[in-house]
């Protein structure tokens, strides 16, 4: 074998190995690491000594004081300083699911400790929220208006009751599914099978969890062959058929560049949701050697996993603009995240920064944020693959915790794509 032939063979082998672990030349391990760093930037409360976000300090240390309870901690939801219970709980649940599904990959990447820390930061806060028997604090108000028998608020109370009743069905199934998965207690199985809803959905997010329930219980069905749970496998297949472009039942809008686009405003949450469930379900199908059937067509695990990868790759830079939508990662990443902490420069300890100052001095300033919000996946492009990297165009540039938590599974899977 000549020198040139030998060199070519070595080069081809090296490129094959490189592609296996990086695919499209993206460093998925770096993206995974940075995705978790963003969650650290969203921490509220007294920060630990090992805080990696140098520009973040302690904040909201009086939360709950007005009601004589300690509600310090948890996560800020997005670019503001608000803590919302349901999205935060969804963030922690999907992180924990990622840790279960991709334990080996996260350990190999050296990130399992950071995932555990991120989960614990949320669960410690939730334990505070439910410390009193019969009471659970679902938000942290910093100004409280109480309505009761003597101070009525009939309209808001009635409307809230209606909203909670109508929207709680999937949350109850979601909770029961996880409790059954963890305990195998038959009372949870009974609830799941009796309350099963024939819901064919095409999205997965903090406010619509049916697809997640279906994928989670499909695993239980395939392991146990419990016929009462087969309906969830059927519905999980229907979800795949609705979202997968090759399916005859495909109905989800896409951009010309191939990105799932359900609606403007943090659209990448739906994209990372697809990557999350397609990754987990694809591995599940592969493990049990089963396929998804969409009418007369069948799709194997590799097709499902490839679509999960394609959606994640779009976020990281494989898109018509050739740019990354993760701050601090890849080619031409966004620099003006719609984020109060990142867009206001550090000041002396005795300088008071108020809301009016932030709008007047920094919000409308067309320049990079003084503090890099490393790892934040922003709202993303519009339905024509266009993007505006301006702080005040929040539908494009605002990050959310659950966008990143949903990305963890897909990125962990891709740290060595096969």
Just list the catalytic residues.
Answer: 338
- Residue 326 carries which DSSP code? B
Angle (CA) 243-255-216 rounded to 5° is 25
Nearest Cα to Cα of residue 43 among 10, 74, 8, 66: 74
CA distance 385 to 319: 8
Residue tagged 């990622």 (tokens):
98
Number of H helices, E strands in the chain: 15, 2
CA distance 233 to 215: 7
CA distance 321 to 331: 10
CA distance 74 to 195: 32
Spell out the SS3 assignment of 329-373: CCCCCCCCCCCHHHHCCCCCCCCCCCHHHHHHHHHCCCCCCCCCC
Distances (CA, A) of 252 to 191, 259, 302: 31, 10, 20
- The two three-digit tokens of residue 158, written as one number: 């009635």
C-alpha torsion sign, points 67, 69, 75, 81: positive
Q: Could you give the residue ranges of the DSSP H alpha helices within 23-153?
A: 28-41, 85-101, 103-108, 112-129
């Amino acid at each position: 074998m000549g020198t040139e032939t030998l060199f070519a063979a070595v080069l081809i082998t090296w490129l094959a190995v490189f592609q296996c672990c990086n695919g499209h030349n993206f460093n998925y391990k770096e993206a995974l690491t940075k995705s978790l760093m963003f969650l650290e930037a969203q921490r509220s409360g007294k920060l630990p000594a090992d805080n990696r976000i140098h520009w973040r300090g302690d904040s909201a240390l009086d939360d709950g004081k007005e009601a004589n309870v300690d509600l310090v901690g948890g996560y800020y939801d997005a670019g503001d300083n608000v803590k919302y219970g349901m999205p935060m709980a969804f963030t922690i649940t999907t992180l924990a699911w990622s840790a279960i599904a991709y334990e080996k990959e996260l350990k190999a990447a050296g990130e399992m400790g950071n995932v555990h820390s991120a989960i614990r930061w949320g669960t410690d806060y939730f334990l505070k929220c439910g410390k009193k028997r019969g009471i659970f604090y679902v938000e942290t108000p910093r100004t409280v208006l109480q309505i009761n028998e003597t101070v009525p608020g009939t309209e808001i109370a009635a409307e809230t009751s209606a909203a909670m009743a109508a929207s709680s069905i999937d949350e109850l199934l979601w909770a029961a599914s996880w409790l059954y998965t963890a305990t195998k207690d038959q009372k949870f199985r009974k609830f799941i099978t009796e309350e099963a809803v024939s819901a064919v959905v095409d999205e997965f997010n903090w406010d619509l969890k049916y697809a997640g329930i279906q994928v989670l219980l499909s695993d239980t069905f395939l392991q146990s062959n419990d016929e009462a749970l087969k309906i969830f496998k059927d519905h999980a297949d229907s979800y795949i058929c609705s979202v997968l472009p090759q399916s005859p039942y495909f109905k989800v809008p896409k951009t010309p560049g191939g990105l799932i686009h359900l609606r403007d405003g943090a659209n990448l949450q739906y994209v990372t949701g697809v990557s999350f469930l397609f990754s987990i379900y694809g591995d599940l199908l592969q493990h049990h050697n089963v396929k998804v059937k969409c009418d007369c067509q069948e799709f194997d695990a590799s097709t499902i996993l490839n679509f999960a990868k394609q959606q994640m790759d779009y976020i990281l830079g494989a898109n018509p603009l050739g740019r990354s939508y993760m701050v601090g990662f890849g080619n031409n990443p966004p620099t003006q995240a719609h984020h109060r902490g990142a867009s206001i420069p550090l000041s002396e300890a005795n300088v008071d920064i108020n809301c009016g100052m932030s709008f007047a001095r920094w919000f409308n300033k067309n320049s990079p944020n003084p503090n890099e919000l490393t790892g934040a996946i922003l709202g993303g492009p519009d339905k024509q693959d266009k993007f505006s990297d301006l702080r005040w165009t929040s539908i494009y540039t605002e990050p959310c915790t659950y966008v990143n938590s949903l990305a963890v599974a897909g990125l962990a899977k891709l740290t060595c794509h096969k």
